[in-house]
Amino acid sequence: MLVSKYFVWFIIYSFMGWIYESTYCTIRKHHWENRGFLHGPIVPIYGVGALLASILFSEFPISGMQEASNLKIFLICFFGSIVLEYTTSWALEKLFHAYWWDYSNVICNINGRVCLPASIGFGLAGILVVRVIYPFVSGMTHDTNVYLMEALSLVFMFLFGMDMALTVSALTNFAKNFNRIESEINEQIASAYEKLDTKAADAIGNMIEKSEQIQESAFVRKELAEEKAAALRERLTKERLESLFLSSSAAQKSTLLSIQGFKRSKDGNELRQRMRTMIDEKRHNRQK
């Protein structure tokens, strides 16, 4: 019964988080934003955070917690949100080479994963959860029939599990196809570069009449090959990524459109940046 109750609370909190997140982003971007990692109307990280706050400050008889002041609740939720948000962002990026939020342009951020304004907001939200939302949710489920609560939790678990499986499957398949495309493009570019270099060498070699022209012609040959190889890479990248997106299922497309960016790296990744640009374009066109 206890596990069922907490799971139902988790779903309720996650749904409330989805409402807040989608509403906030819709207002900020002036078009509908269906936020979240999953397909359904829930954002699990909000559910986890709110459930932990409810258990810590109200459910478990921990000394000093049930009578905690608003300042104490704020500080614990402030630092707790930093740990939860950073580890979740890191884990998602490690597993799927993508991220669903980015604070890089916000002041006082850490690797774009957490930032001071958001953590302050979560600290204040913790007070709201403990003082207002938890009593409401607890009261709503307190008198619910035991068997009904068990049934609800089983239904929610089934739907949540299916959603999670679909999302993970879509991301895993995408990652495999993405790596395959990246490898194929690199191989084609290397092959094309060699051919371009050979053809350019033959064409320019016929024009060489003086020995002092050799060094200059070699430079021209290299520049020509690199320029054509870059143009070829751009064309191949665009064609392959467009084909990958169009061949994806509706569930995979929905998952891709929820991604805010791909794996952060100091040297960057041209293919991933191109994919991010394409997804942004698709997302923008969908809103028209």
CB 80 within 8 A of CB 52: yes
Among 163, 181, 175, residue whose Cα is nearest residue 256: 175
The beta strand positions in the chain, using DSSP E, are 98-99, 109-110, 114-115, 261-262
Averaged confidence pLDDT in the chain:
80
- Spans of all domains in the chain: 2-144, 165-287
Q: Average pLDDT for residues 172-192, to the nearest whole number?
A: 73
pTM summary value: 0.78
DSSP state of 262: E
For residue 197, count CB atoms less than 10 angstroms from its CB and return exposed for 0-12, middle for 13-18, buried for 19 or more: middle
Residue corresponding to tokens 């959603």: 163
62-71 long-range CB contacts below 8 Å, 24 or more apart? 68/130, 70/127, 70/131
> Please, which pLDDT band fits residue 154 given cuts at 50, 70 and 90?
very high
pLDDT, tens digit, 9 for 90 and up, residues 52-93: 999 999 888 677 787 889 999 999 999 999 999 999 999 998
Q: Average pLDDT for residues 145-155, to the nearest whole number?
A: 92
Q: Give yes or no for residue 229 having a pLDDT over 70.
A: no
Among 226, 235, 241, residue whose Cα is nearest residue 272: 241
- Span of 72-76, 189-193, 255-259 with lowest mean pLDDT: 189-193
> Please, which pLDDT band fits residue 232 given cuts at 50, 70 and 90?
low
- Looking at residue 211, its pLDDT comes to 47
CB atoms within 10 A of CB 99: 19
Burial 36-47 (b: 16+ CB within 10 A, else e): bbbbbebbbbbb
- Looking at residue 195, its pLDDT comes to 63
3-class state of residue 27 by DSSP: helix
Type of residue at 232: L
